[in-house]
Structure 1
Amino acid sequence: MNARTVGPAVAMTAVSMVLTLAVVVMWLGGAMPWPVALVVGLGIDGGWLATLAYERRLAAQGDHSHAVTATGWGFGMLATGVLVAHALGEESPGAWLAVAWLPLAAKLLWMIHGLWERTALTSSALGAIRGIQQEARDEAAVARARLRAEAGTEETRLTAVTQAGARVAKVQARTARTLSRAWSALSDTRDGEDTGRALTCVTRGVTPGVTPAWTLPVWGPVDPVPALEAPALTNDQLDQVVDQIRHSETPALSYREMAVRFRAAGHSASEVRLRAAWKRVAA
């Protein structure tokens, strides 16, 4: 890269110096001896070259001088002025005006070369930068791969949980259907006439004078009631107590609420007698 920037600057500087020397010799050759004109041209080129060399030396030391830079630009403008003045004195100034900008262009190229030198890095530094960039790219690729793997794992987990939930829901639905069918069969059995007669025959010897009514159990919370010892009530007394408890509130209490309050009041009766009394009162 150094040769790419310094090569054009050197070439354009050499061309500019040759053109300046030739123009000075041709321009002043008619008014003074040509050796004198040659010395003048070499003086302009020599001053320009000297300031350029000094400026390059300061740049190599990491220093800079505005006076030297201004002097260099002054010599460049002087050479450009000589070329422009010579071109204006010619019958066809186009060709000379076309090359009159070369001294200033050479100065600009040297300035660009100086800027490159101040920002140039060594091969080891460039290698370190490439290594850092490659490491960053590697870390980014690993992070992307990790995120994709985690996303795939999470998707698999969610799929498994969803499938397990669906299986549980299916099992619960089957269980509910089975319980519903069993409950329906039990209800049909209870309501059947043959079942009622069979149960009546079984319980007639235990509870004479009472027609049993068989009711399915109720699902739900059960309030425990402590067992109390109390004298047995007759059917009339039992009906009277049940009716009084049932109508103790408005609207009338349900059987479960009445049964809880019946036993909480200290009364004692079997479930069959209590339910029979409830039906008699409710009827």
Structure 2
Amino acid sequence: MSWDRQITIKTPQELEIMREAGKINAEALAAARAAIQPGATTADVNAAAEAVLKKYGVYSPFKNYPGPYPYPASTCVSINDELVHGIPSKTRKIKEGDIVTVDCGTVYRGFVADAAFTVGVGQISEVARKLLEVTEGALYAGIRQMKPGNRVGDISAAIQHYVESRGFHVTREYTGHGVGRRMHEGPQVPNYGVPGRGLLLRPGLTIALEPMVLVGTWQTRVLADEWTVASADGSLTAHFEHTIAVTEDGPVILTLLGEDESGQKRASGI
């Protein structure tokens, strides 16, 4: 996916709108998570998220996103070796032992929120369990760097160090990104980098930060549907994402459900 490189700084009022978008998006993802059961299809998972979006009269920026052909769903649902952009299907059934990633975006009053999670289905392997733990931990390691005066490279380097020091790999081909009135704005935020380099972070900058982690290799391949991205070697992958605002008081996660403060606590290191 390509995107507009414009970087936008949001006002406090715009951040409030993005927080509302984030709450709706979190509710949609919670519904999707509840639908992930053995025997359910990936289309069932997408339908659960879409029902929440419909309830609020909002839509996902994923639907009809331009690419090899317009993206056909409101979410991406990816299983096991599939890293991102998995197309929901009425024939793809979820099984015990799978790990399932759901990515969803929400447009509310002209602003976008974007988040993702990976979850295990029933009993999963020890490697899968560790992969989920490390990928989510890498997200919060990156978030902790999102404070005024730091640079994009500080975020990227923190994610890379967290993942690689635990024996896994970060994707080199897909990145986090600025988000606001468009789903994809600047800056581009790779999951690897050098501290002290890149754009200077300032209050009002909003970023969809999304570590994408692979067990066996950083290399990927695109499947026959021309959207789904999988690990090149067939090994497991995981993906966690939040939309975060840089503020004078540090990072604020905009895609938490309701008044849940657990994400802020983890982001601040408490």
Q: Could you say whether these structures have the same fold, taking a TM-score greater than 0.5 normalized by the shorter chain as the test?
A: no
Larger relative strand fraction: 2
Larger relative helix fraction: 1
| Bigger Rg, which one | 1
Using the size of structure 2 for normalisation, the TM-score is 0.20
Using the size of structure 1 for normalisation, the TM-score is 0.19
Higher relative contact order (CA 8 A, sep 6+): 2
